[in-house]
A and B are shown apart, each in its own frame.
Chain A
Amino acid sequence: MTKEIKKNNSDGVSRRDFLKDAGLLVSGTAIGSTVLLAACGDGETVTEKITTTVTGAGATTTKTVTAGEMVKTETITQSKYVCPVDGMEFDSLADLQAHFENEHGGEATSADLNVINLTINGKLYEVQIEPYWTLRHLLHDVLEFISVKDMCCEQGQCGSCAVLADGKPLLSCMLLAIECDGRSIQTAEGLALENHPLIEAYVNNHCSQCGYCTPGFIMTAKGLLDRNPNPTADEIAFALEGNLCRCSTYPYHIQAVLDASSSL
């Protein structure tokens, strides 16, 4: 059974909104979007239930528009589900659950199937994971949030994989994905959607040289500003000290955070 996450949406679903959201969520080949285009015009009320799927490399976005409702429903699921007991593969979670209950007995809970739910940048994801995956692996390698960098340390050495988990800056290479069930994650992509002043401050202060570490710095800085909106230069340096920058543009980061602080 695929869980449906419903959101109130007073604007209904337009073709433009759909395509914009789909492109934002998953970069990949759009399959089936023409179905929606054929059935529903800009601002029209949907007259029949339509399910549309956008398939990316590692995940599938399904949008269901229900007839007669001005409701946008969104479920972000995977394209392949694997039985953790016998390794058999299924096209949907419902099929896997049915298989698990029939073959292995008992109700298949999320924990049984290694399925977690987590909110990423305001959208809810339902994903099957391997128990040994780090949050960084899930975010970057599976769900393709490419802002979540890594300097291949996997030991919390560099800070480039920093994200906000329930508002706190954490190193995603040091968290197992399975520990993040139910948590709310924000990445630099999400911060950009907010148009947070840190983004412009970083651009205007010419902080990035190679730029690989920049999203990690920005997310750490966001965590600081959330708990201390008016930090001093020393407080900023202390907060960002765990983030490495091989190009070493450190002083410009401090100025950028000060500038962002004054714009909050």
Chain B
Amino acid sequence: MTEEYTVIGKRGYRHAEGLPKATGKATFNRDIKLPQMLYGKMLIHPNAHSKIKSIDISKAEALPGVVSILKYDDAELQGIRPLFGQADAYSVQTDEYYFWGEECNIAVCAESEEICDEALSLIQIEWEELPFLLSAEEALKADAPLVIRNPNIKNEHPEMLPPWVNTTLEGNYLFALEFAWGDVEQGYQDADVIVEENLSYEYLEFAPAECDSVVVDIRDNDEVVFYIQEQSGVAIQQTFRSFFPQLPMSKCRIEKHYSGGTYGLRHNNFHPRPTLFALLFAQKTRKPIKILTDRKGDFYYHDGKIESCKLKIGVKNDGKITALSTDSLIGGGLGTTVGARFWSKDTIIPNFFLHEDQLAVSKAPVTAFRCELNNGAYHFSKVFDLAANAVGMDPTLIVNANTRNAPSLLECIKSGKEIIDWDSKWHSSGSKQLSNGKYHGLGFTWTEEWDGHHWSASGGVRICSDGSVLILGNITDFGVMPMTSVKIMCAETLGVRFEDVHFPPQQDTTCFLWEGMGGSCGLHTNSMVIKAAAEKAKKLLLERAVQPRQALYQVLPPAFPDLTPDDLDVKDSMVFEKSNPENKMSIPDILVWRENPCPAAWIGPLDIQVCVSQGETETNHEIHDASIPSTYYQAHFAEVEVDSETGFVEVTKIVNVNDIGQAIYPEGIETQQVGGTLMAWGRALTEEPVYDPMTGVLLNCNLLDYKYSTMRDCGTIIPKYLEVGEKGEHDGSGAYGNVGIGEDTATVVPAVILNAVNNALGTNINSLPVTPTKILKALGKI
């Protein structure tokens, strides 16, 4: 840490949204109930791939309480196509559906949720079942049936994709990627040991706490208000403006209430139908409507699956990796790839080749789920662990031979090793059996921090004449505690007390748009905006402090006569003379709050209000250049006990070390580290969607059978954050040098648990989740 701050990085500030959440008063999207509101439900596709041969909705229409039924061939739906993007593949006119659980273009609007359910059950459909494919390997075969939704879509806007993405391939291909540098064949010749393995990683389901819902209300002035469970209001605004060109964005308002966990974009181009149908029903009935998804239907969002990733690693006996090639097959979409980002930014491996095929399969579309680097981080972690094992090295030491040894990385490793007592506990694979009969294992991994994620946003700050401060703008609280962080940075920049700053939730998109692109960039982007806005407001405040103060019946002398704004500063909500701190005045006195007994006439001129527009803040887009080395890193350590008779894994300790540049909200950082680690526990050990191979139906779409962590599943988690990174003009950090934390541990920690299991048993399992079945198979017991 290079600067001493008053508010930033200090403990003890109150969680801004803690009270409404604890008292149950926070309104989530599913809680919204508007006067005269109708309800809606979509028909869920019951097959893996099928087309409607015939449909009869007469019984459903006749059911008392049913208000309207819309389906793909109705006049209201014709001509609705997006102006851009892959949403076209999910058209509202089609009668063919491509995975079990897809929301069909058939929806019921009724007086209650129960009537909707009953009406849907009365719709009689004859389905023509079509071939389906559950694996990318099957989809790749030359004679595979086509399960891709619309082969032409992938070629629609090739100019919008990076040059290394190939969308010209036929069949079920979504796209292919290829990166290379150096000469891998030469690298293998230079190696002492060649390692060849095949990795896999299952789909990861969002399974959020709050199931999806959307409310649409058309107001008297034809303004359309969407209440939506989503990270990025402006993205949704643009999506639906795209479907309805006649709907001006200025009359399309997004209200995002508290969101029960999104973890990625939801109502995006892949999932527009519930919102579209809600809008159509609202237009038809002129009443607000709420379309609800149930738990089964909410297993719609998941990350992509590494079905196979063939690795070939050349490594010298000193641990130096001379060549790496990877050939991956992924069932999914652009939201998730193995990617080359880590390898180019974080290593000095001289010879590298990456090929990746992404195939359409008969499963829900892939979107990024906390986060799009899941597969990349797993891939990265496994390569180093495999290379270290191949030459018998401690995995924490092989880093030195293959990176530029950034101070941040070295400090993260050093700190974590001390906390977990690595040097005294480390042992070779399968060599330590405990007195309880279980095998002890240690795991280690590392990656960069996700720096440089800066997008555009806008925001405002208002210093009220009574000295309180209001932050203006639309932000979603979906679990990364953004309001507390933004309040802290506002208080620091303005010099006011934390408790004087207010950030009302649930402002809508008619206001400023914080966090333009959603979760991955939130703190980084918002920090730039709040700092710029608060600096503007502070400048105006200090200018007011040296000017005559206009009150209702009099003109008061300047608060600080004979001084300039540069002579002044603000601390603890008091403006003071820097060279004489005892010469000070409160903000209300400067803004002549008390001298104006007629607030209705004067409230405007008294307050200070500023905004920062999109594009006004500093940008770090160049950090996305994969050739620029990272400056912030993270390292994670796991300790496990494995029962070789049952295959049961007990994670006894995990240490997270994240270099976050500059801590803004320490308690928030730590809870994100811990929460992400517990989410990673499920990803590593238990989370696995199971499809029936005969029918293509997802079998475990409920919270009992899709297992994520519970209160007693994981042992001690020790979160540790560092503030080490190499600060510089383009260091990839946000304002005040912060680097976000929300995605890190959930993404990186699964691999460290697997590494620890292999260390415990001496096995070579390269597949997540590492289930008891996989363990017992690896041990040759089943």
Distance in angstroms from A202 CB to nearest chain B CB is: 4
Instruction: Tell me whether A213 is interfacial, beta carbon within 8 Å.
Output: yes
**In the complex, chain A residues whose CB is within 8 Å of the CB of B667:** 206
* CB-contacts of B648-693 with A (<8 A): 667-668, 671-672, 674-679, 681
Known: A244-B703, A245-B209, A248-B679. A209 touches B671 (CB 8 A): yes
Known: A192-B23, A203-B22, A215-B22. A246 touches B679 (CB 8 A): yes
Q: Do A211 and B711 touch across chains, with their CB atoms under 8 A apart?
A: no
**In the complex, chain A residues whose CB is within 8 Å of the CB of B208:** 210, 246
Q: Find B674's partner among A192, A237, A249 (CB 8 Å cutoff).
A: A249
- B interface: dominant SS: loop
Instruction: Tell me whether B528 is interfacial, beta carbon within 8 Å.
Output: no
Could you tell me the distance between the alpha carbons of A153 and B210 in the complex, rounded to whole angstroms? 10
- What string of 1s and 0s marks CB contacts (under 8 Å) between A137-153 and chain B? 00011001111111111
- What string of 1s and 0s marks CB contacts (under 8 Å) between A30-42 and chain B? 0000000000000
Q: Do A203 and B710 touch across chains, with their CB atoms under 8 A apart?
A: no
Q: Which residue of A lies closest to B26 (CB)?
A: A211
**In the complex, chain B residues whose CB is within 8 Å of the CB of A141:** 33, 113
Could you tell me the distance between the alpha carbons of A243 and B28 in the complex, rounded to whole angstroms? 19
Could you tell me the distance between the alpha carbons of A210 and B206 in the complex, rounded to whole angstroms? 13
Q: Find A244's partner among B25, B708, B717 (CB 8 Å cutoff).
A: B708
Interface centre among B668, B702, B703, B711 (most CB of A within 10 A): B711
Q: Do A203 and B15 touch across chains, with their CB atoms under 8 A apart?
A: yes
Q: Which residue of A lies closest to B668 (CB)?
A: A206
Could you tell me the distance between the alpha carbons of A164 and B22 in the complex, rounded to whole angstroms? 16
Known: A151-B210, A199-B19. A210 touches B24 (CB 8 A): no
Distance in angstroms from A121 CB to nearest chain B CB is: 11
Distance in angstroms from A156 CB to nearest chain B CB is: 9
Instruction: Tell me whether B478 is interfacial, beta carbon within 8 Å.
Output: yes
Distance in angstroms from B634 CB to nearest chain A CB is: 18
Q: Do B18 and A250 touch across chains, with their CB atoms under 8 A apart?
A: no
**In the complex, chain A residues whose CB is within 8 Å of the CB of B557:** none
Instruction: Tell me whether B141 is interfacial, beta carbon within 8 Å.
Output: no
Q: Do B25 and A252 touch across chains, with their CB atoms under 8 A apart?
A: no
**In the complex, chain B residues whose CB is within 8 Å of the CB of A199:** 19, 22-23
Q: Do B295 and A241 touch across chains, with their CB atoms under 8 A apart?
A: no
Known: A146-B31, A244-B710, A246-B261. A208 touches B702 (CB 8 A): no
Place the interface of chain B in its size category: 35 or more
**In the complex, chain A residues whose CB is within 8 Å of the CB of B710:** 241-242, 244, 250
* CB-contacts of A144-169 with B (<8 A): 144-155, 157-158, 160
Distance in angstroms from A15 CB to nearest chain B CB is: 24
Q: Do A212 and B711 touch across chains, with their CB atoms under 8 A apart?
A: no
Distance in angstroms from A68 CB to nearest chain B CB is: 37
Q: Find B261's partner among A146, A212, A215 (CB 8 Å cutoff).
A: A212
- What string of 1s and 0s marks CB contacts (under 8 Å) between B459-501 and chain A? 0000000000000000001111100000000000000000000
- What string of 1s and 0s marks CB contacts (under 8 Å) between A196-226 and chain B? 0011001110111111111100100000000
What is the total number of residues of chain A having a CB less than 8 Å from a CB of chain B?
59
Q: Do A153 and B702 touch across chains, with their CB atoms under 8 A apart?
A: yes
Distance in angstroms from A61 CB to nearest chain B CB is: 16
Could you tell me the distance between the alpha carbons of A193 and B132 in the complex, rounded to whole angstroms? 55
Q: Do A249 and B702 touch across chains, with their CB atoms under 8 A apart?
A: no
Q: Do B261 and A218 touch across chains, with their CB atoms under 8 A apart?
A: no
Distance in angstroms from A201 CB to nearest chain B CB is: 9
Q: Do B17 and A211 touch across chains, with their CB atoms under 8 A apart?
A: yes
Could you tell me the distance between the alpha carbons of A106 and B399 in the complex, rounded to whole angstroms? 86
Could you tell me the distance between the alpha carbons of A146 and B667 in the complex, rounded to whole angstroms? 27
Instruction: Tell me whether A189 is interfacial, beta carbon within 8 Å.
Output: yes
**In the complex, chain A residues whose CB is within 8 Å of the CB of B293:** 152
- What string of 1s and 0s marks CB contacts (under 8 Å) between B392-420 and chain A? 00000000000000000000000000000
Distance in angstroms from A210 CB to nearest chain B CB is: 4
Distance in angstroms from A62 CB to nearest chain B CB is: 19
* CB-contacts of B692-721 with A (<8 A): 702-704, 708-712, 714, 717
**In the complex, chain A residues whose CB is within 8 Å of the CB of B157:** none
Could you tell me the distance between the alpha carbons of A215 and B295 in the complex, rounded to whole angstroms? 20
**In the complex, chain B residues whose CB is within 8 Å of the CB of A29:** 35
Q: Find B481's partner among A148, A154, A209, A238 (CB 8 Å cutoff).
A: A209
Q: Find A207's partner among B18, B31, B35 (CB 8 Å cutoff).
A: B18
**In the complex, chain A residues whose CB is within 8 Å of the CB of B14:** 203-204
Q: Do A218 and B675 touch across chains, with their CB atoms under 8 A apart?
A: no
Distance in angstroms from B698 CB to nearest chain A CB is: 15
Q: Which residue of B lies closest to A240 (CB)?
A: B711
**In the complex, chain B residues whose CB is within 8 Å of the CB of A251:** 674, 717
Instruction: Tell me whether A77 is interfacial, beta carbon within 8 Å.
Output: no
**In the complex, chain B residues whose CB is within 8 Å of the CB of A157:** 702-704
Known: A189-B25, A246-B208, A249-B674. A209 touches B480 (CB 8 A): yes
Q: Do B209 and A213 touch across chains, with their CB atoms under 8 A apart?
A: yes
**In the complex, chain B residues whose CB is within 8 Å of the CB of A188:** 22-24
- What string of 1s and 0s marks CB contacts (under 8 Å) between B173-191 and chain A? 0000000000000000000
Q: Find A249's partner among B35, B207, B671 (CB 8 Å cutoff).
A: B671
Instruction: Tell me whether B260 is interfacial, beta carbon within 8 Å.
Output: yes
* CB-contacts of B1-52 with A (<8 A): 14-15, 17-28, 30-31, 33-35, 37
Q: Which residue of A lies closest to B24 (CB)?
A: A147
Instruction: Tell me whether B298 is interfacial, beta carbon within 8 Å.
Output: yes
Instruction: Tell me whether B258 is interfacial, beta carbon within 8 Å.
Output: yes
Distance in angstroms from A178 CB to nearest chain B CB is: 16
Known: A57-B33, A151-B210, A245-B209. A214 touches B294 (CB 8 A): no
Distance in angstroms from A63 CB to nearest chain B CB is: 21
Could you tell me the distance between the alpha carbons of A199 and B15 in the complex, rounded to whole angstroms? 12
Q: Which residue of A lies closest to B704 (CB)?
A: A157
Q: Which residue of B lies closest to A243 (CB)?
A: B711
Instruction: Tell me whether B259 is interfacial, beta carbon within 8 Å.
Output: yes
Known: A152-B211, A212-B261. A250 touches B704 (CB 8 A): no
Interface centre among A204, A211, A218, A254 (most CB of B within 10 A): A211
Distance in angstroms from B58 CB to nearest chain A CB is: 22
Q: Which residue of A lies closest to B21 (CB)?
A: A211
**In the complex, chain B residues whose CB is within 8 Å of the CB of A253:** 711
Q: Which residue of B lies closest to A211 (CB)?
A: B21
Q: Do B711 and A210 touch across chains, with their CB atoms under 8 A apart?
A: no
Instruction: Tell me whether A187 is interfacial, beta carbon within 8 Å.
Output: yes
**In the complex, chain B residues whose CB is within 8 Å of the CB of A192:** 22-25
Q: Find B209's partner among A58, A160, A242 (CB 8 Å cutoff).
A: A160
User: Can you give 18 A-B contacts (C-beta < 8 A)?
Assistant: A145-B24, A146-B24, A148-B24, A149-B24, A150-B30, A152-B295, A188-B24, A199-B22, A203-B15, A204-B15, A209-B479, A209-B675, A211-B22, A211-B479, A248-B674, A248-B679, A248-B681, A250-B714
* Contact surface of B with A, Cβ cutoff 8 Å: 14-15, 17-28, 30-31, 33-35, 37, 113, 207-211, 258-261, 263, 293-295, 298, 477-481, 667-668, 671-672, 674-679, 681, 702-704, 708-712, 714, 717
A151-B295, A157-B702 are known; give 8 further A-B pairs, CB within 8 A.
A57-B34, A149-B24, A151-B211, A188-B23, A192-B25, A207-B18, A242-B710, A249-B675
